[in-house]
Amino acid sequence: MSAAGLRSALVAAGLEAEVEGRERLALISPTDAVEARAIAERRGEVMALAIAHGFSHAALELAPTRRRSPALQTDAALPGD
Amino acid sequence: MMPIEPATIATAREKEIALVAWLRERGRVAIGFSGGVDSAYLACVAVDALGSANVLAIIGKSASYPAAQWAAARGVADRFGVPVLEIDTHEMEDPRYAANPANRCYFCKTELWSLLVPAARERGIDTVIDGTNADDMAGHRPGAVAANENAVESPLLIIGLTKAEIRALSQERDIPTWAQPSSPCLSSRIPYGIAVTATRLATIERAEAALRELGISGDLRVRYHDDLARVELGSVELERWLEPEASERLAAAVRNAGFERVAIDLRGFRSGSLNVLTGVSAA
């Protein structure tokens, strides 16, 4: 399973999202509502990409309330702040 | 629900005649009764074949048995005159069950039958039966081993009635479960190897109940992934609930039930989905 590989494949397909690998589940967190809509509409294609990267399941996170990826935490408070 | 072909219903009716004959040979039966499609049908046919005095439907209640399922079971029993006995089961107290191994169902069914079979015998009933059907042998079903060990018989399987046939015959009898989605126990939402706890089961049950209240019908599972709920929906509902406004309502309902994060499975509902995810079954 390669979450990074799947994320790159999604970007190459024009879909911006973070991907978190949870064993064989790819948890796809879109960057905004527009991307969420695009992933939902192209879910067959997204599913095929997930399988190609070794996942058995792919799920679209709904209205993510926070991000876990360090790449998306650039405005997070620093230790000691 | 796919309409059943006329030839299929004719075959199903013949099998039902054989089922009635099988039941009459036994005279009195106790049924492991969940109120699902199969056991509801079996209980109704048994009452027709033997009379309610010779039938006892036994419900095993525990944290893994949803309250909505219990209500459905009682509703069928009341409407069709099926005598019911309720027994509390304690599989959650068995560490072998709570550890949630791939054969978890074996420990649950062992607990269930170890209580139901003696309860039946105490009431002079020698034959204990369950709703296992002819389709059930295809999947991963360690619970069937426990049934065999406790001499529980499966007449729907013996006669060869399939799920589609049972639904069609249930519809003919106006049993409300005919179109009910399959409803395995709540523990099936937790991946193998992750402990089954009463708190987790309650959270899953609240989430599924909240989604039903939103109007979601048909197949529905809230799969437990620690902080994340992965929602599986049937194809028609999936289309509808991926719409932006609808998905926000769905996410809010599941968060209110106790999950921190919510996701919709992009392929939708798959029976045994977690078996695939954990490598117990092929994708």
Rounded distance between C-alpha atoms, residue B66 and residue B31, angstroms:
19
Does some domain include residue B283? Answer: no
Separation in Å, CA of A30 to nearest CA in chain B:
11
> Using the beta-carbon criterion (under 8 Å), do B248 and A46 form an inter-chain contact?
no
Q: Residue A51: in which H helix or E strand, if any?
A: helix A43-52
Could you give phi then psi for residue B228, rounded to 5 degrees?
Answer: -105, 135
Residues B10 and B95 both lie in one domain: yes
Residues of B in contact with A43 (CB under 8 A): 242, 266-267
Q: Is residue B129 part of a domain?
A: yes
Assess A60–B contact: CB distance below 8 Å, yes or no.
yes
A27 touches chain B (CB under 8 A): yes
Q: Does A68 touch chain B (CB under 8 A)?
A: no
The reply to whether B256 and B236 lie within a common domain is: yes
In a domain, B1, yes or no: no
Reduce the secondary structure of B130-179 to three states and give it as a string.
CCCCCCHHHCCCCHHHHHHHCCCECHHHHHCCCHHHHHHHHHHCCCHHHH
Better pLDDT: A39 or B281: A39
Which residues in chain B are closer than 8 Å to A21, comparing Cβ atoms? none
Between B242, B248, B283, which is nearest A63 by CB?
B248
Last residue of a domain, one of B179, B195, B229: B179
Residues of B in contact with A64 (CB under 8 A): 261
A24 contacts B230? CB cut-off 8 A = no
Taking the Cβ of residue A42 and every Cβ of chain B, the question of whether any pair is shorter than 8 Å is answered with no
Tell me the per-residue pLDDT of B117-160, one tens digit each, with 9 for 90 and over.
999 999 999 999 999 999 988 777 888 899 999 999 999 999 99
Do B73 and B122 fall within a single domain? yes
Say what percent of chain B tops pLDDT 90: 87
Residue B158 neighbours by CB under 8 Å, 6+ apart: B22
Contacts of A16 (CB under 8 A, 6+ apart): A10, A30, A31, A32, A35
Whether the CB of A3 is below 8 Å from some CB of chain B: the reply is: no
Rounded to whole angstroms, how far apart are CA atoms B209 and B215? 10
Look at residues B128, B163, B179 and tell me which one is the last residue of a structural domain.
B179
Q: Is residue B261 part of a domain?
A: yes
Are B172 and B258 part of one and the same domain?
Answer: no
ipTM of the complex: 0.82
Let me know if residue B28 belongs to a domain. Answer: yes
Q: Are both B88 and B110 inside the same structural domain?
A: yes
CATH code of the domain covering residue B259: 3.30.70
User: Do B39 and B126 have their domain in common?
Assistant: yes
**CATH code of B13's domain:** 3.40.50.620
Domain check: are B163 and B222 in the same one? no
pLDDT tens-digit series, residues B156-204 = 999 999 999 999 999 999 999 999 888 789 999 999 999 999 999 999 9
How far apart CA B52 and CA B50 sit, in angstroms, is 7
Q: Domain boundary at B179, B199, B226, which?
A: B179
B172 and B191 inside one domain: no
Domains identified in chain B, total number: 2
Across the A:B interface, residue pairs with CB atoms under 8 Å apart total 69
- Rounded distance between C-alpha atoms, residue B113 and residue B150, angstroms: 7
pLDDT band at A46 (very low <50, low <70, confident <90, very high): very high
User: What DSSP state is assigned to residue B115?
Assistant: H
Distance CA B246, CA B95 (A): 40
- Provide the β-strand partners of residue A58: A26
Q: Can you give the pTM of this predicted structure?
A: 0.84
B40 and B143 fall within a common domain: yes
Q: B17 and B91: one domain?
A: yes
pLDDT range class, residue A78, cuts 50, 70, 90: very low
Same domain? For B76 and B150 the reply is yes
Based on the fold, state whether residues B111 and B196 are members of the same structural domain. no
Residue B278: its pLDDT value, please? 67
**Residue B59 maps to a domain:** yes
In a domain, B158, yes or no: yes
User: Is residue B282, in this structure, part of any structural domain at all?
Assistant: no
Mark out the alpha helices in chain B (DSSP H runs).
6-26, 37-50, 67-80, 95-98, 104-122, 143-149, 155-159, 163-172, 198-213, 235-241, 244-257, 273-277
CB atoms within 10 A of CB B248: 13
Mean pLDDT of B56-77: 95
Task: Flag whether residue B279 sits within 8 Å of chain A, measured between CB atoms.
Answer: yes
Q: Would you tell me the crossing angle of helices A33-41 and B244-257 to the nearest 10 degrees?
A: 100
CB contact under 8 A, B248 and A24: no
**A43 at the B interface (CB within 8 A)?**
yes
> What's residue B182's pLDDT?
83
CA B234/CA B90 separation, integer angstroms: 32
Domain range for B159: 6-179
